[in-house]
Chains A and B, each alone.
Chain A
Amino acid sequence: MTATASAANQPQASALSANRSFVLRGILLAVVVGAFMSLGNVNIGAIGQGLGYALAGVTVFMTFRVLGFVDLTVDGAFPIGGAACAILIVNGHSPEYAMLMGFIAGALTGMATALIDIIFKIEGLLASIIVITAAYTVTLHVMEGKSNIPLLGQETLISRYSKAFRTWLVEQFGDQMRRQSTNLLEIILFGFIVFIVLAILYWFLRSEIGLAIRATGKNPQMVRATGLNHNLMIIIGLMSANGLAGVAGSLVVQQFGFADVSLGFGLIVRGLAAVIIGEVLLRPRSVGQLLIAAVTGMLVFDISRAWIFSALDLPTTDIQFVSALVVLAALGAPRLYDRWKTYKQRLGG
């Protein structure tokens, strides 16, 4: 009896140690990135921006990694979510309500891709390109025909607290904090929202539906054999994933102070980079760790890009090229490292 109990406890012990090494890697990474930022003179605004985009990284994680579905819809769901949020704020709705609608707008975009895939049997890559193309027009219509909606003077999540927060910050830490007050507020607010969303998503992925969604990506045949409708799982999965892109769009719109029809350009590449950077640096194992890794990856992406900008003193027009370079580094470095290892082995042998 005791032998049985101790044997059954073993996996839990190994799960604990896996958690510990994950946390250790996380702390190490935070220290390295922190040192990097202060030495390289990177503004903390990069963290706030990373947090704004973080949920779009989670979208890519959900579609590519969990569902095994090559889905580019995030490029369309993000600006639609942002546009919906902006137009509602301009029309006097609360930022919370506007963000909820941003989620729904993104989710509907994801549903369109899922339905095209299921009904017409067009594979995800093509289905999502079709949806992105149509989404451009939908975004323009949501923004009432304008390609840009400024949020200047409107009550956003940030502007609502910015005055009170600045006063409090200056009182507590002196006048030199005034310049950083908006950046700090963004980090706190967005950090809180990302944390809440991740907690809900974690709970969702650990539910029966979540388990079925995770299994759908790995072995759809088995999901059907288990008596579950795997098409329904694809719909639910793509809706929740792209809903998150809609929330990310809503956050970024409030951060930038405007919504723009071209906001989602190149986002899929950025999301992929976030997922891969997170996986390489943190080597996540469990569902929770994978979610944290995707968010961390987006933060590292934004910080390294900001560092390149400040180090090379580049104009903002070069932003997409630098993004592409960072993505290339994130994708290419692990592969190059593997090739270097086999090359070294060959020399050694």
Chain B
Amino acid sequence: MLSLDQVSVTFNAGTVNEVRALRDISLLAAEGEFVTVIGSNGAGKSTLFNVISGAAQPDSGHISLDGEDITYWPEYRRSHDIGRVFQDPRLGTCPGLTIRENLSLAAIHGRSAGLRRDVKKAEEAWFFEQLERQRLGLEHRLDADVALLSGGQRQAITLVMATLTKPKLLLLDEHTAALDPNAAEQVIALTQQLAEANDLCVVMITHSMQQACDLGDRVIMMNRGRIEFEIAGEERRNLKPADLIDRFHSLQDAELSDAQLLG
């Protein structure tokens, strides 16, 4: 499904501010697989997503989706197949437009916009059903301006929009980090439900070790632009947050001694 082959990204190459955000990353994720990505700030998690979605260009390496090389596709073209939800709830929906208009926009996904009516009667029932399933009561507020909704509600709508036209891949960039615990729980439940219902390949960045252990089939730990370790299979099923935190710390300790030696 998703395949990254030795992808590298360097920012400010050749200057003192040079940052090697991704170093020869190779990654495979299959259809229906749910991968969680953890790592400290600056580990390259968001750059990884930017490279996959087309918001950033790799210096070297190749990215393919469903067997097709998408390395040089512009962002808007990739988004036919890739849904993305950001940490900031304001990024995924459009304020000033109603819920209905936002969903209509997402429904255009995968074909080009034409001169057809923006909000279609035929799609009404479909939208209602999609929102009804979330049990947030938003299906009765289709004409409400999205700017009036809470962060959790906006994130829930973003999720529905990102999966409305069944993409191949769903990228979740700490999409519950800005929400209160209650809203975060609801959005996570909705994420699982949508991923299973659509048999999506999901890659999720998270800072919550609990989430990394609860969700998905595989955990990837990133550090300084590399994939440091992967936990899958039997080990992943028995994984507890405390184990992950231990491994996280041992990594940082190793780094610390490196720094002390070099310093």
A: residues with CB less than 8 A from B are 4, 7-8, 10-12, 14-15, 204, 206-212, 214-215, 218-219, 221-230
* Nearest CB of A to B232, in Å: 29
CA of A207 to CA of B118 in the docked complex: distance in angstroms?
A: 4
Contacting pair B140 A212 (CB below 8 A): no
Q: A208 contacts which of B77, B114, B141, B144 (Cβ < 8 Å)?
A: B114
* Nearest CB of A to B147, in Å: 9
Contacting pair B80 A219 (CB below 8 A): no
Which residues of chain A come closer than 8 Å to B119, judged between CB atoms?
Answer: 206, 211
Contacting pair B105 A215 (CB below 8 A): yes
Contacting pair B143 A15 (CB below 8 A): yes
A-B contact pairs, 23 of them (CB 8 A): A11-B143, A12-B143, A206-B117, A207-B113, A207-B117, A211-B104, A215-B97, A215-B101, A218-B97, A219-B93, A219-B95, A221-B91, A222-B91, A222-B92, A224-B79, A225-B75, A226-B76, A226-B109, A227-B76, A228-B105, A228-B108, A228-B113, A230-B76
Nearest CB in chain B to that of A68: its residue: B96
Whether, in the assembled complex, B45 has its beta carbon less than 8 Å from a beta carbon of chain A, the answer is no
Contacting pair B115 A207 (CB below 8 A): yes
Beyond known contacts A218-B94, A226-B108: 10 more, CB 8 A cutoff: A11-B141, A219-B91, A219-B94, A222-B91, A222-B92, A222-B93, A226-B109, A227-B76, A227-B79, A227-B109
Which residues of chain B come closer than 8 Å to A14, judged between CB atoms?
Answer: 143
Whether, in the assembled complex, B110 has its beta carbon less than 8 Å from a beta carbon of chain A, the answer is yes
CA of A212 to CA of B106 in the docked complex: distance in angstroms?
A: 10
B: residues with CB less than 8 A from A are 53, 74-77, 79-80, 83-84, 90-97, 101, 104-106, 108-110, 112-119, 140-144, 161-162
* Nearest CB of A to B1, in Å: 19
Which residues of chain B come closer than 8 Å to A204, judged between CB atoms?
Answer: 115
Nearest CB in chain A to that of B84: its residue: A225
Nearest CB in chain A to that of B88: its residue: A221
CA of A218 to CA of B105 in the docked complex: distance in angstroms?
A: 13
Counted as pairs of residues, one from A and one from B, with CB atoms less than 8 Å apart, the total is 101
Nearest CB in chain A to that of B98: its residue: A11
CA of A206 to CA of B143 in the docked complex: distance in angstroms?
A: 15
Which residues of chain A come closer than 8 Å to B95, judged between CB atoms?
Answer: 218-219
Contacting pair A11 B93 (CB below 8 A): no
- List of 3 A-B pairs having minimum Cβ-Cβ separation, nearest first: A11-B143, A211-B118, A208-B113
- With A206-B117, A224-B79: A212-B105 Cβ-Cβ less than 8 Å: yes
Q: B79 contacts which of A10, A209, A219, A225 (Cβ < 8 Å)?
A: A225
- With A208-B113, A215-B97: A226-B79 Cβ-Cβ less than 8 Å: yes
* Nearest CB of B to A333, in Å: 25
* Nearest CB of A to B108, in Å: 6
CA of A214 to CA of B115 in the docked complex: distance in angstroms?
A: 14
Which residues of chain A come closer than 8 Å to B97, judged between CB atoms?
Answer: 211, 214-215, 218
CA of A9 to CA of B80 in the docked complex: distance in angstroms?
A: 34
Which residues of chain B come closer than 8 Å to A7, judged between CB atoms?
Answer: 140
Which residues of chain A come closer than 8 Å to B143, judged between CB atoms?
Answer: 11-12, 14-15
* Nearest CB of B to A161, in Å: 33
Which residues of chain B come closer than 8 Å to A208, judged between CB atoms?
Answer: 104, 108, 113-118
Contacting pair A212 B108 (CB below 8 A): yes
CA of A68 to CA of B210 in the docked complex: distance in angstroms?
A: 41
CA of A225 to CA of B53 in the docked complex: distance in angstroms?
A: 9
Nearest CB in chain A to that of B141: its residue: A11
- With A10-B140, A208-B108, A214-B97: A224-B75 Cβ-Cβ less than 8 Å: yes
CA of A219 to CA of B86 in the docked complex: distance in angstroms?
A: 13
* Nearest CB of A to B224, in Å: 27
CA of A208 to CA of B119 in the docked complex: distance in angstroms?
A: 8
* Nearest CB of A to B89, in Å: 12
Which residues of chain B come closer than 8 Å to A214, judged between CB atoms?
Answer: 96-97, 101
* Nearest CB of A to B94, in Å: 5
Contacting pair B104 A209 (CB below 8 A): no
- Looking at B93, B96, B97, B113, the one whose CB has the most chain A CB atoms below 10 A away is B113
* Nearest CB of A to B28, in Å: 24
Contacting pair B117 A226 (CB below 8 A): no
CA of A228 to CA of B94 in the docked complex: distance in angstroms?
A: 14
* Nearest CB of B to A245, in Å: 22
* Nearest CB of A to B93, in Å: 7
